[in-house]
Amino acid sequence: MPSMLEVSDLEHTYTGQQEHTAIGGVTFDVRAGQLTCIVGPSGCGKSTLLRCLASLIRPSGGEVRMHGEPVRGVPEDLAVVFQDYGRSLFPWMSVRGNVEFPLRSGNVPKERRRERVRQTLEWVGLSGAERKYPWQLSGGMQQRVAIARALACRPALLLMDEPFASVDAQTRFELEDLLLRVRAEQDTTILLVTHDIDESVYLGDRVLVLSETPATVVADLPVDLGNERDQIGTRESETFVHLRGEIARMLRGGGGHERPGGTGTTARDTGSETESTSEDERADAEPESLQVEQGSPAREAAE
């Protein structure tokens, strides 16, 4: 299967009074239709890497190719889902309006827009909620709207930056299964950043493990769990437990700070004074648009 995304020796350094190299030569590729997860220590540059791939940040060095062509600006067939759905959705727009927004900006004909919105809301389990507003929805439902808006444009590549980190455990399980179902039905290529090791193993066809900053790829691990997965049986399987342990040992051995908690083992380190003030962490605190498509604030800022 051909590569959808090729990343070669990608580097990025934040300049200024405190120069900081977040990415130190990252190389990998993602095959079409594959779901690849990225884990690494907190503050290692995962979010910076995702922003470079989406052309929201211009990398200091290296190359990104999509469909075999060098990426120059924001690709039209790429969408991004960020962690903070509360700042991603337009509160004055209904669910339908939020999902329809990038299609309207992209001059998709009205009838085609309405049909695509209907179909996409059905995919994410929000049929009947199209007239509601974000503030009337639970956190899990808001994130479903965020995912629907990204999928409405039928992206060839979907980038996701900890999309389920802000919801409760049960909702997280539901959204993980939703993502697997949509991926299977639409054959969408997905690159997902997460702090949760369990989530990376449960969702991924492979897991890329990053080092501490400046980030490099220290392991590329295939996940041999088959296509049919469930939250109980899969997580109890010998293959799952073994791979989860292998990734946790890598992070600990490489200076990562994983610990059990939440829905699974994570690579967070709330006790690191340096990481909490890094450029990468400060970038995470900036307001984000939901996706990178025609007419979206993130796209306009990137251009």
Q: 93 to each of 88, 98, 133, 229, how far by Cα in Å?
A: 12, 6, 6, 35
With CA atoms as reference, report the closest residue to 192 among 177, 173, 172, 206. 206
Q: What is the pLDDT of residue 97?
A: 95
29 phi/psi in degrees, rounded to 5: -135, 160
38: its two tokens: 């990225």
Q: What is the pLDDT of residue 165?
A: 85
Q: What is the pLDDT of residue 43?
A: 85
N- to C-terminal Cα distance for the chain? 32
Q: What is the pLDDT of residue 66?
A: 93
Q: What is the pLDDT along the chain (303 residues), one digit of tens a residue?
A: 678 999 999 999 998 888 889 999 999 999 999 999 999 998 888 989 999 999 889 999 999 999 999 988 888 889 999 877 777 899 999 999 999 998 988 788 889 999 999 999 998 889 989 999 999 999 889 989 999 999 998 899 999 999 888 888 898 999 999 999 888 888 889 999 999 999 999 999 999 999 998 999 999 999 999 989 999 999 999 999 999 999 999 998 754 433 333 445 555 443 333 333 344 444 443 334 334 443 443 443 344
Q: What is the pLDDT of residue 271?
A: 36
154: its two tokens: 């039928």
Q: Are 54 and 28 in contact (CB under 8 A)?
A: no
CATH of region 3-88+156-302: 3.40.50.300
Q: What is the pLDDT of residue 73?
A: 82
User: Given its phi and psi angles, is residue 186 left (phi above 0), alpha (psi -120 to 50 degrees) or beta?
Assistant: alpha
Pairing of strands 264-266, 3-14: unpaired
Q: What is the pLDDT of residue 145?
A: 93
Specify burial of residue 164 (Cβ count, 10 A radius: 0-12, 13-18, 19+): buried
pTM exceeds 0.85, yes or no? no
